[in-house]
Structure 1
Amino acid sequence: MQQIRPVSTSTLLPDSQSFRISEVRISDKPLHLQAIQDRANNVWRRLDSVSNSNFCRGGACPALLNPAANIQAGQAPPLLFLLFFFIILAGCTKTQPPPKTQTTSIRHIYLITIDTLRPDALSIYGGKTTTPFFDEFAKQSVVFDHAFTCAPITLPAHTSLLTGLYPQRHGVRNNGTFRAPDSLNLISEIAKENGFATAAIIGGFPLTAQFGLNQGFDLYDDHFSQAPSPAGTFSYSERNAEQVRLAAQTWIQQQKHPFFIWMHFFDPHHPYLEHGMQNVAPYQQEVLYVDQQLKLFFDFLKQNKLDQDALVVITADHGEAFGEHGEVSHSLFVYNTTLRIPLLIHGPGLAPGRRTQIVRIIDLAPTILDFMQWKPKSGFDGVTLSNVLKQTNWKPVDAYAESFAPAIDFGWSPLRSIQDAKGKYIEATHREFYDLNHDPEEKENRIKTAAFREYEQKLHRLGQTPSVTPTHTLTPEDRDRLESFGYFSSAPTKFTKDAPDPKDKVAIAREIAELSMSPSTLPEKAHAYAKIVQQDPSNPLLLLRYAEILLKMKQYKEAEQTFQHVLDLEYPSAAAYNGLATVYFSRNDLNRAQQMLKQAEGLHLADGETYYNLGEFALAAGNPDGASTYYEHSMQFGFLPAFYKAAQLKELGGGIQDGIQILQKAEQTAPSDAQVNNEIGLLYFRHAKWDDAVAEFKKALAKNPQDASAYYNMGLAFYRAGRNPEAKQSLEEFLRLAPAEWKQQRFAAHETLSHL
């Protein structure tokens, strides 16, 4: 009988190959290279001999193109082997010491962050549209009128909230290509050490576990749809407030001990969805929708008496601009339009009221620890708000903020600011100073007349940042998801004093923001970026973005010219070298493709994608040891495809346990990703450990109940174990979920079912 082989979404891509340089760069249709394929298969044939099955690998297996080719009477069909690509990356967790005993009467901590929420979208802050939940909750809480974030960017701001540190201390300066280091001490870790169960329910892609904020959480629930929209963008990489609320309530109902839960609502962030509210702007509809869901959540808490002995903190990571100072969205400037945030705190012994003092997002972690009488593991940049909450002696503080997005995303000047109750200084190529007492909307720059030197000195005492280096490599799919929210990812950035000021480039920034905030096809994007590049032809970051679009469109000649232009500008980016390698690969020019990757490595610019592709070349050359070294370098950037290849090579050299250890590291890196468990299940499958394989496929389905490939693989494992009724049920569920274009796999499933 023919051996049954598992399947994955990877092999369902058109014309897929098991080995291809830069395959993760092109999300719509992988590139081909039969010469390397043939050499790589020589290595993989050795791996195939580990198990009893002769697994298919890409174009080398005739059954891939013709599933019925080897079917004989009474035999089950040959099925496809799971490849290891297109995975969402996630962050690592740390081993925790034994829990300690809590020291206060508080048993429940609710930290609620609402992404992109302007204070004036709430009626308690003067908003024109009534927000009933906030109106009622404010009557029971301390409401802060002048709370400020330290970065108008989702990941840096939340990292500061959870650590009490400024970005220059925790190192996260932008979304996407930065990751919170494992060395940080998050309030979730301290809560867990003090006997609290911990959970995070995440609403949007920029905070998924791959970016490192999952540290200390028993549950980091960041599962939501990641399917591309018809236009080719990833506008569904979020879940709505109701889904966040229900997931939180489900977890809370399972808890029997004190707990800390962080709920992240992403709804007010672009893209704005409408909720059938007449004469209400889409952004405001999203705010009202969150308001409704919060009322339902707190009704649930009250019904279950979970609002008692509770500390509640409700805030935002940053605001949103609708044309103020010419800005659309956020992250371009550091005006208070996007820095000012709502903040409400409710807890035992706190008298409701308003507070007018300046407070900061970095003050929340030390405040929670102080309220709980927990000792910090290290120092904070923030301070506890206990005195201002209790209206005792309060020493005024300065509020620092930064946005490195203009520099990292566009090559312009970074922005840093510091403010107190009287004035605000912004450091940029063109410096700014505002008298906040007379000009709270920051319209009149008084840098030539005001005594700003005191503020400048305070800012400089916080330290300088001459350059930043990203610590995380995104897959192309994740880059698309990030861009769909108006964020971009780029290369190491060295700041220069003569860099263009974002104020002088606001028109270009607005065009880019509007382009990223509207559904568009690749040709439409290419046309728009061609016009944008004409306005700033020496901007390497804009050129890189344009070249990536051309590459996706397979306009290789134009892409090559644009990538080369970036290198001619001496911009230090792995992306340009990776892009040129893909162009040369498309022409079967393997030597030049490898040379591009080696150049990036030699210049110390290589990222996870560069090292991964060098590993593929080494493997194709029959050098598995060299490939392993490159995969290990790639793994340091959190590039999951490298984990899977490294696991295969470990399995080849040392058997099942070595492979499992690598995949367990992948699971730590991507704790919410169903595909990781699929990979572990397949390793067990190759070694005929059917029960272990089934257990992993079930874990995958627990994380993603719509994972058709996991049902398929589980059905095969049941079949091989002789558990035919369960095999039948799993394969039938696969047929229900699998899309019509999975013709080969659907055919194979039907054929297998006919033998049950």
Structure 2
Amino acid sequence: KVPLVVWGPGVTPGADGRPARHVDVLPTVLGALGLTLPPDLPGRSLLAAPLDAADPAQVTYFESLSTHLNRGWAPLRGLIAARKKYIELPLPELYDLAADPGEAANRFADDRRAARALAAALPEESVWPPAKGKITPEQEAKLRSLGYSVGSSGGKTEWTAADDPKNLVEIDRKIHQTVELYSRRRFAEAAALSREILAARPDMTEAAEHLALSLRQLERHEEAIEVLRATLARAPEQTSLRRQLGMALAETGRSAEAVQLLQPIAADGDATTLNALGAALSDAGRHDEAVRVLTDATRRHPADPKGFENLGIVELRRRRPAAARDALRHALELNPSLPISWNTLGVALYQLEGPAAALDAWKRSVALDPRQFDALFNLGLVALEAGRPAEARQALQQFVATAPPERFAVDLQKARRILAQGRR
């Protein structure tokens, strides 16, 4: 249980054992300020006199749909009334909060009458999933902007004990562990754990997405594409799968196919989709279209640095280094920890100002992410050009030791040749 602390002028010191709800916060603040509460405002002021247990305002509806929307697990909804709490799940729960505030003893089997009464009192509009057509495209886009993966539950309308969140606690722990491993750049471990989750729950698209992300970071792009294609075939309605597949295809040079996948889902204005589409269009040589898409992305999402970063990359490809520099500097003003922006800015500055400014940008890029192999290679070549052989040698040695041969075969050969000449 999470306590709610209310402090301020006119608040009497002490503790109140009554349940507090999120919907009670606004009425409490308005009441404390002496303002009139709108008659249709849900909730009640916690500073007001206690209500009778039978008062309808004491009835609390709750729901939790995140694991359903994101993972396809059973939706959870329930009701609290007269100090009894009912949770509707494939394995229903009923708790006597007066005698068992810690909800340790499920009373569903012992008090079916109370459970049936509370189940019957659940709001009709809370039945999940909602009738088809009740969520408009605009509402879907709004929900997605708030972090919900609308339509990714797999289309199920019935759930069993295998879908009950109580039975999936270990899977939930592993998902969080996967995210933690990925954030720590332990991609091989994250991929292995994602496969373990998929072995237990093959329908869990979230685990498939984590697996594909980890494989892409490991430069195992074909495996990632295979995972995404197979998962998308099972969940064709899931936009995030289609988006990631488009990005993975673009990374392997299949930009035309990426554009074909991404264009139909870009209409909702999602920032990640617009950025992926803009990058794919540029990779396909359609730079003017890419600029239009990315300009739209920066207009819709001015606080998102990725749109400006991608716009800078495209402007550089269009041989407009000044425009690239300006876009990249804007991205770095929003977030100075973008290694790709620093790398690309280095290229633009080299064309505009020469080696010194470029070397500083590439150093920032590599310091943020040692896997910025293009920045490492550029740093080595330009440091040599600028008469800084020690810096050049260090960068080229790191490049040779870490760059993947399948992507940088020609550059690796050149770097080894330069290093060999320096030893003579």
User: Which TM bucket (shorter chain)?
Assistant: 0.5 to 0.7
Whole-Å Cα distance in 2 between the matches of residues 625 and 458 of structure 1?
A: 54
Whole-Å Cα distance in 2 between the matches of residues 409 and 607 of structure 1?
A: 17
The answer for the alignment partner of 1:460 in structure 2 is 123
Aligned AA for 2:237? P
Q: Which of 557, 575, 592 is matched with 2:240 structurally? A: 575
The answer for the alignment partner of 1:404 in structure 2 is 65
Given the superposition, is the C-alpha separation of residues 397 and 590 from structure 1 closer, same or farther in structure 2, using an over 3 Å criterion? same
Aligned pair 1:357/2:21, yes or no?
Answer: no
Given the superposition, is the C-alpha separation of residues 704 and 593 from structure 1 closer, same or farther in structure 2, using an over 3 Å criterion? closer
C-alpha distance after superposition, 1:507-541 (max 9, x if no partner): 32233344445667211111122122111123333
Whole-Å Cα distance in 2 between the matches of residues 454 and 357 of structure 1?
A: 22
Between 465-474 and 435-444, report the one with greater CA deviation: 465-474
SS in 2 for 1:359: coil
Aligned AA for 2:262? L
Q: Which of 590, 593, 603 is matched with 2:255 structurally? A: 590
Counting only pairs closer than 5 Å after superposition, residues 722-737 of structure 1 correspond to structure 2 as none
SS in 2 for 1:609: helix
Whole-Å Cα distance in 2 between the matches of residues 541 and 353 of structure 1?
A: 45
Q: Which of 505, 511, 521 is matched with 2:174 structurally? A: 511
Between 400-409 and 583-592, report the one with greater CA deviation: 583-592
Q: Which of 31, 35, 47 is matched with 1:386 structurally? A: 47
Aligned AA for 2:157? K
By how many angstroms is 1:626 displaced?
7.0
Aligned AA for 1:496? K
Aligned pair 1:498/2:158, yes or no?
Answer: yes
Whole-Å Cα distance in 1 between the matches of residues 312 and 26 of structure 2?
A: 39
Given the superposition, is the C-alpha separation of residues 570 and 622 from structure 1 closer, same or farther in structure 2, using an over 3 Å criterion? closer
Q: Is the 8 A contact 1:359 1:397 kept in 2?
A: no
Aligned pair 1:628/2:292, yes or no?
Answer: yes
Q: Is the 8 A contact 2:191 2:210 kept in 1?
A: no
By how many angstroms is 1:639 displaced?
5.0
Whole-Å Cα distance in 1 between the matches of residues 206 and 124 of structure 2?
A: 31
By how many angstroms is 1:745 displaced?
7.1
Aligned AA for 1:589? R
Q: Is the 8 A contact 1:473 1:609 kept in 2?
A: no
Alignment RMSD: 5.2
Whole-Å Cα distance in 1 between the matches of residues 252 and 290 of structure 2?
A: 25
Given the superposition, is the C-alpha separation of residues 383 and 534 from structure 1 closer, same or farther in structure 2, using an over 3 Å criterion? same
Q: Which of 104, 114, 119 is matched with 1:451 structurally? A: 114
C-alpha distance after superposition, 1:554-595 (max 9, x if no partner): 222322221111122134222322333233334323332222
Q: Is the 8 A contact 1:421 1:437 kept in 2?
A: no
The answer for the alignment partner of 2:415 in structure 1 is none
The answer for the alignment partner of 1:524 in structure 2 is 189
Aligned AA for 1:385? L
The answer for the alignment partner of 1:679 in structure 2 is 330
Q: Is the 8 A contact 2:278 2:310 kept in 1?
A: no
Counting only pairs closer than 5 Å after superposition, residues 193-232 of structure 1 correspond to structure 2 as none
Whole-Å Cα distance in 2 between the matches of residues 580 and 409 of structure 1?
A: 18
SS in 1 for 2:260: helix
Higher RCO (Cα < 8 Å, 6 or more apart): 1
By how many angstroms is 1:412 displaced?
0.7
TM-score using structure 2 length: 0.62
SS in 2 for 1:358: coil
Q: Is the 8 A contact 1:550 1:556 kept in 2?
A: yes
Q: Is the 8 A contact 2:208 2:228 kept in 1?
A: yes
Q: Is the 8 A contact 1:612 1:631 kept in 2?
A: no
Aligned AA for 1:446? F
Q: State the identity %.
A: 21
The answer for the alignment partner of 1:172 in structure 2 is none
Whole-Å Cα distance in 2 between the matches of residues 378 and 648 of structure 1?
A: 54
Q: Is the 8 A contact 1:363 1:383 kept in 2?
A: yes
Given the superposition, is the C-alpha separation of residues 535 and 605 from structure 1 closer, same or farther in structure 2, using an over 3 Å criterion? farther
By how many angstroms is 1:385 displaced?
1.9
By how many angstroms is 1:425 displaced?
1.2
C-alpha distance after superposition, 1:217-237 (max 9, x if no partner): xxxxxxxxxxxxxxxxxxxxx
Whole-Å Cα distance in 2 between the matches of residues 524 and 430 of structure 1?
A: 33
The answer for the alignment partner of 2:29 in structure 1 is 368
Higher helix share: 2
Q: How many residues align?
A: 346
Whole-Å Cα distance in 2 between the matches of residues 546 and 613 of structure 1?
A: 19
TM-score using structure 1 length: 0.38
Counting only pairs closer than 5 Å after superposition, residues 221-620 of structure 1 correspond to structure 2 as 340-374=1-35, 380-388=41-49, 397-442=58-103, 443-446=105-108, 449-460=112-123, 463-464=126-127, 466=129, 469=140, 471=142, 490=149, 492-493=151-152, 496-499=156-159, 500-516=163-179, 521-598=186-263, 600=265, 607-618=270-281
Given the superposition, is the C-alpha separation of residues 621 and 554 from structure 1 closer, same or farther in structure 2, using an over 3 Å criterion? closer
The answer for the alignment partner of 1:17 in structure 2 is none
Counting only pairs closer than 5 Å after superposition, residues 49-88 of structure 1 correspond to structure 2 as none
Q: Is the 8 A contact 1:492 1:573 kept in 2?
A: yes
